[in-house]
Amino acid sequence: MLLKCNVKAVRNLFISLINRSFCKTLVFVLLAFGGRSFAEGTDSLPFFDRMLSFQSGLSVQEQILITKQAEKYAQKKGDVYKSFAYAAQRGSLYFSADNGDSCLLVYSALIPGIEKQVEQTGEERWKVLLVECYSDIALSLMFKEQSDSAMLIYQGLLLRFEKDSIPQVNAKCLNGIGVVFAYRKLFDLAEKNMLSALEQYALVNNMRGIFAVSSNMVALFQSQGLFEEALPYGIRAYRIAHSENYNGQELIYASLAMGSIYSGLMRYDIALPYFEEAVKLAREKEFTHMEGFAEASYARNLFHLGQYAQARQVAEDALRQIKDKKKYDLQVDLLHLLSQVAEKQNDVGSALRYLKEYIVVRDSQMALENMRQLLGVQYRYDNYRLEQEARNDANELHLATMRARNRVLWIIVLAVSVALMITVIGFLFKRLVQFRRSEEIIKAESRRQIKTVEEQIEVKNKELATNALQFLRLRNLQDSIMKELRQLKTAFTLRGKEKRQVCDIEELAKQIASEREWKDFQLYFEQVDKEFFRKLSERYPDLTSNEKHLCVLFKLGLTNKDVASLTGRSLQSIGMAKFRLKSKLQADNSEELSQFLNSL
């Protein structure tokens, strides 16, 4: 009947009641066995997120099962990022439950896909998710005495995403580096990196990150006995756990941290309610992996307050809970505490019995630890030796393969090079022959064109000379006629008809070599030799129009007398004009003016 109700209303009801103990089991059953039906027709991702958040009261194992259901649902909805995020959260939960092998298995299957998404999309959320996965792997390696590998992972991540400047990535790496330094007892470096991580988380107001780093700062200072320095960070983590409504193991951690700090400050009365809160929460939420540790801390605080009977009862209950769970450190601590409590109660027999058990467990623990370390060293040595042998074999095989490949490659390269060289030489030779043929054709054509132009110039020059001589003859003829007419006028007195005829003859004589013929001659010369007038004007802009006329006549090789006849000027004036022209043109006096003008 429940599944037939309005799905959204039922989901909201479950979310509002999720922290109640009577509803928690029902929600878990629905998710584990009926989640698919429950999610039909609605978006249940926020519901899954609530179940897997710090506000959830579910145990780690319950949340691990929920991540599997949530991952399948996200895949069904086509939300690639959410499906990867739920799988990554399952790996983180395995890490929290001290199940490092399962954690590594999840991440080894998950990381290649996330790397691909980072390369394809470059989105910040994928980078953050990738760093979170690598962070848990690094911490797992550190707890396996491989802190160097853990440090390399964090430093590599920082360097890889340095240009992106993502606060959450930087904070996660800096916090991890701080934890590694604390593990190596390099406390100053650990504190420096953790403080930097806090600053990065504060930039984006990431309260979960601030809570995690503050808790690590508490552990850092407690390991050095600096409880005063640990107190502000413990208070901060405790306040965040309550203000953010954390309902999981984080609130237990925060309570235990505050109790441990005040216990270290010997303020056992203030520490007592924090330990009581931690024990109560661990029992209510069935966090059995934390219950024994919380009860041990609570019992030691009762012992310091002198409440021996209650301390003994709590310690014995805790000892029974962890009897078969191979938590030797906690067993040793509890047995030592019980021997002290029994001694204070004057129960010498029990004190001696607890002390004997304490020595046996401690020695067994030391032997087991030594054996574990020896096995670890032997395992690492065997792995190293096998890796070296495999690497050597692979290198030898690779070298042999490379040699064979190189020989074949060199033969192919040589053959291709020879063929290519022959082809290139043949092509170049063919192009050279074609080029030479083209060059000969171009040269022949150029010579032909030059010869034609020279012939045309020679013809034009001959025409110019002919025109100049014709003009000269006409001018001489004009002068002769005009001279004869003047003599005729002087010798005879002309009247009437004879006078008109003489005037007509004089007018005709004037038209024989007029200024118009000179201008026509100049225009014709410019058409033949345009460059001469351009060069003359550019080099000697001060030349007058008459001086340019003289330059044209002298360029044609006419003498002073010819020029005087053509221009109607005296021979002496032409000589003076020629001298002034040489000065303006800066020509050598010994050089013929015609040669100088032809060289322009």
| Residue 171: partners with Cβ closer than 8 Å, 6 or more residues away | 196, 197, 198, 200, 201, 206, 209, 213
CA–CA gap between residue 5 and residue 13 (Å, rounded): 12
Q: How many C-beta atoms lie closer than 10 Å to residue 485's C-beta?
A: 15
Dihedral in degrees, nearest 10, Cα atoms 588, 593, 597, 600: -10
Query: For the chain, what is the largest distance between any 2 Cα atoms, rounded to a whole number of angstroms?
Result: 186
pLDDT at residue 269, as a whole number: 92
Give ∠ CA 431-434-436 in degrees, rounded to 5: 110
Q: How many C-beta atoms lie closer than 10 Å to residue 54's C-beta?
A: 17
| Residue 524 φ then ψ, to 5° | -65, -40
- Token couple for 117: 């998404």
- Token couple for 338: 């019980």
Cα 595 to Cα 475, 547, 551, 582, 588, distances in angstroms: 26, 17, 11, 12, 11
- Token couple for 415: 């053959």
Residue 55 parent element (H or E): none
Cα 506 to Cα 324, 503, 511, 519, distances in angstroms: 154, 5, 9, 22
Length of the chain: 600
CA–CA gap between residue 109 and residue 442 (Å, rounded): 75
3-class secondary structure per residue, 509-555? HHCCCCHHHHHHHHHHHHHHCHHHHHHHHHHCCCCCHHHHHHHHHHH
pLDDT at residue 1, as a whole number: 31
335-341 LR contacts (CB < 8 Å, sep 24+): 335/361, 337/296, 337/299, 337/300, 337/303, 337/311, 338/312, 340/303, 341/299, 341/303, 341/308, 341/311, 341/312, 341/315
Give the CATH architecture of domain 531-600.
Answer: Orthogonal Bundle (1.10)
| Residue 230 φ then ψ, to 5° | -75, -25
- Report CA 308 to chain centroid distance, whole Å: 65
- Residue (of 62, 60, 54, 53) closest to 24 by Cα position: 62
> Do the beta carbons of residue 488 and residue 502 sit within 8 Å?
yes
| Residue 101 φ then ψ, to 5° | -65, -45
pLDDT at residue 428, as a whole number: 86
Domain ranges of the chain: 531-600
Look-up: residue for tokens 């992106």? 164
CA–CA gap between residue 512 and residue 534 (Å, rounded): 31
pLDDT at residue 10, as a whole number: 36
Q: How many C-beta atoms lie closer than 10 Å to residue 220's C-beta?
A: 21
pLDDT at residue 13, as a whole number: 36
CA–CA gap between residue 42 and residue 358 (Å, rounded): 57
Burial profile 258-277: b = 16 or more Cβ within 10 angstroms, e = fewer: bbbbbbbeeebeebbebbbb
CA–CA gap between residue 235 and residue 214 (Å, rounded): 9
CA–CA gap between residue 510 and residue 523 (Å, rounded): 21
- Going residue by residue through the chain (600 aa), what tens digit of pLDDT does each one get? 333 333 333 344 343 334 444 344 444 444 444 444 444 445 577 878 777 777 666 777 788 888 888 888 888 888 889 889 888 888 888 877 777 778 888 888 889 999 999 899 888 899 999 988 998 888 888 877 788 888 999 899 989 888 888 998 999 999 999 999 998 899 999 999 999 999 999 999 999 899 999 999 999 999 999 999 999 999 999 999 888 888 777 888 899 999 999 999 999 999 999 988 888 888 777 666 676 778 888 888 888 888 988 888 888 888 887 776 667 677 788 888 888 888 888 888 887 888 888 887 777 656 555 555 555 555 556 666 777 777 787 778 778 777 888 888 888 888 888 888 898 888 888 888 888 888 888 888 888 888 887 777 666 665 665 666 566 566 667 777 777 777 776 766 666 677 777 777 766 766 665 555 556 566 656 655 667 778 888 888 888 877 887 887 788 777 888 777 767 678 888 888 888 888 888 877 767 888 888 887
- Token couple for 137: 């792997």
pLDDT at residue 191, as a whole number: 93
